Amino acid sequence: MKNRKSLIIVLLTFTLLLSACGNQPVVGEDAQKTAVSEAVSELLTQESKLTEEVPTEEVTPEMTEEPTASPVPDTATPEPTATLPAYTVGPTNFPADVNPLTGLKVSDPAILDRLPVMVKVPNFPAYGRPHGGLSAADIVFETWIGGGSNRFAALYYGTDSDYVWPIRSIRIVDPEIATLYNAVIAFSGGDPVKVMPKIWRIMGNRLFPEGTCPGICDRGSYDVTRLYANTAAITDYFKRNAIDPGTRPNLDGMKFSEAIPSGGRAASKLEFYFNYYNKSDWVFDQDSGKYLRWIEDGTSYEMIPLTDKNTEKQLEFSNVIMLFVNHVEIETQLIDIKVWGNTAGQRAVIFRDGQAFEATWKTSDNETPMAFFDKDGNPFPLKPGNTWVALTGLSSPESIDGTVWHYDFQMP
């Protein structure tokens, strides 16, 4: 198109030159204009005809050679993967291979086809430390027994320990805890008048007192620390006697999640003191993501790591719970701790992942595990793993200094 327009201009110029040439006859100015006009008109007419006959197309230049492909890297760049949701399980519909008391998978689901085993472990006398087997428990309950002392009720379900040591007497709160988890109780003695009638009435044939080795055996010493328990042997006893049906009990109620819930406050350390001579510290360990247990030395009363006699490692728990419970002192060493019947809910402070969370605990009935709820009434997600539950009085004072949370045991 551009070339044709150029041709018109050339022809027009040529025509004008011819008209001005001296060898041609001289004509008037009007005649010259007429001739030029006719020549231009003829050329434009021819151009228009050419345009109609030949349609205009975009011409794509031919490629003279193949384009050079980008080199393929030796290692392909991985496509971004979607973030998987945090592991969450419970409070119901636990998979067959998941322990509903820890939220963790077990290597052999068959171990869950039994009744949990609760073992009574003393914290005093102090020479009975370090205790054996506490690190293997799914849940440990710490209770006040009066006279300046506390005692532990260690619950074994997803794991066993062949050396839980030492073993001491049963108290009136123990059957209330045990029935919540469909457990049997291993212990050594109990007050025959003030304690045992309630124990027998509630527990019946699900009691395992000393005197039946290999369930509870004697180390050969002659003091209160002489006895130890084997939890697998205790389970075998109850199965052989058809007391344990060998099926999985319903232990729904606790929720677990790796995701840290919102609303927590920094808690690098938890202190729980019954008195100056009976203290416990829980210090958060960033590397393990758990709270490590410290205890007063029986001689200097300085705080030292509380280890497990079996593993020689410091006790570490995924969750530590301060449970506010109504305590009624019947006598100095006879304390009625009201675990049953808490359908309305009482306060709990749950420590996990270096944070403290306000919560509520409930016991909907006498045969269902404790359940924990957040401030909106939703099941509170515990961290998958083991849990330590410290029972304190409703009026126990609380103080917070930076990231250190402190509790002094106090009954009304």
How far is 372 from 201, CA to CA, in rounded Å? Answer: 28
Beta carbons within 10 angstroms of residue 206's beta carbon? 18
How far is 87 from 277, CA to CA, in rounded Å? Answer: 41
**What is the rounded average pLDDT of the residues 59-68?**
42
137 domain-assigned: yes
What six digits make up the tokens of 326?
């109504």
How far is 123 from 190, CA to CA, in rounded Å? Answer: 16
Q: pLDDT band at residue 31, thresholds of 50, 70 and 90?
A: very low
56 domain-assigned: no
Instruction: Give the β-pairing of 255-257 and 265-266.
Output: unpaired
Domain hosting residue 286, numbered range = 104-408
Domain count, the chain: 1
Write down the pLDDT at residue 221.
83
Beta carbons within 10 angstroms of residue 333's beta carbon? 15
**What is the rounded average pLDDT of the residues 120-127?**
97
Write down the pLDDT at residue 22.
41
Write down the pLDDT at residue 26.
38
Write down the pLDDT at residue 62.
44
Whether the link from the prior residue into 369 is cis, omega within 30° of 0, is no
What six digits make up the tokens of 141?
């309950």
Q: What is the CA 309 to chain-centroid distance, rounded?
A: 28
Q: Is the pLDDT of residue 397 over 80?
A: yes
250 φ, ψ (degrees, to nearest 5): -80, 110
- pLDDT tens digits, 201-245: 999 999 999 998 999 999 988 899 999 999 999 999 999 999 999
Q: What is the pTM of this model?
A: 0.81
Residue that has been written with the tokens 């949990």 in this structure: 116
Q: Is the pLDDT of residue 64 over 60?
A: no
- pLDDT tens digits, 376-391: 999 999 999 999 999 9
Write down the pLDDT at residue 80.
61
358 domain-assigned: yes
Q: pLDDT band at residue 8, thresholds of 50, 70 and 90?
A: very low
Write down the pLDDT at residue 84.
82
The answer to whether residues 172 and 193 touch, using CB atoms and an 8 Å cutoff, is: no
**What is the rounded average pLDDT of the residues 366-378?**
97
For residue 269, the cross-strand partners are 283, 404
- pLDDT tens digits, 89-121: 999 999 999 999 999 999 999 999 999 999 999
Q: Is the pLDDT of residue 65 over 60?
A: no
28 domain-assigned: no
172 domain-assigned: yes
Contacts of 37 (CB under 8 A, 6+ apart): none
Query: At 294, which CATH number?
Result: 3.50.90.10
User: Is residue 3 classed as helix, strand or coil in its secondary structure?
Assistant: helix
Write down the pLDDT at residue 83.
74
Write down the pLDDT at residue 78.
56
Q: pLDDT band at residue 29, thresholds of 50, 70 and 90?
A: very low
6 domain-assigned: no
322 domain-assigned: yes
92 domain-assigned: no
What six digits make up the tokens of 339?
């675990």
> By CB neighbour count within 10 A (0-12 exposed, 13-18 middle, 19+ buried), where does 329 fall?
middle
**What is the rounded average pLDDT of the residues 309-332?**
98
Residue that has been written with the tokens 């055996």 in this structure: 217
- pLDDT tens digits, 147-182: 999 999 999 999 999 999 999 999 999 999 999 999
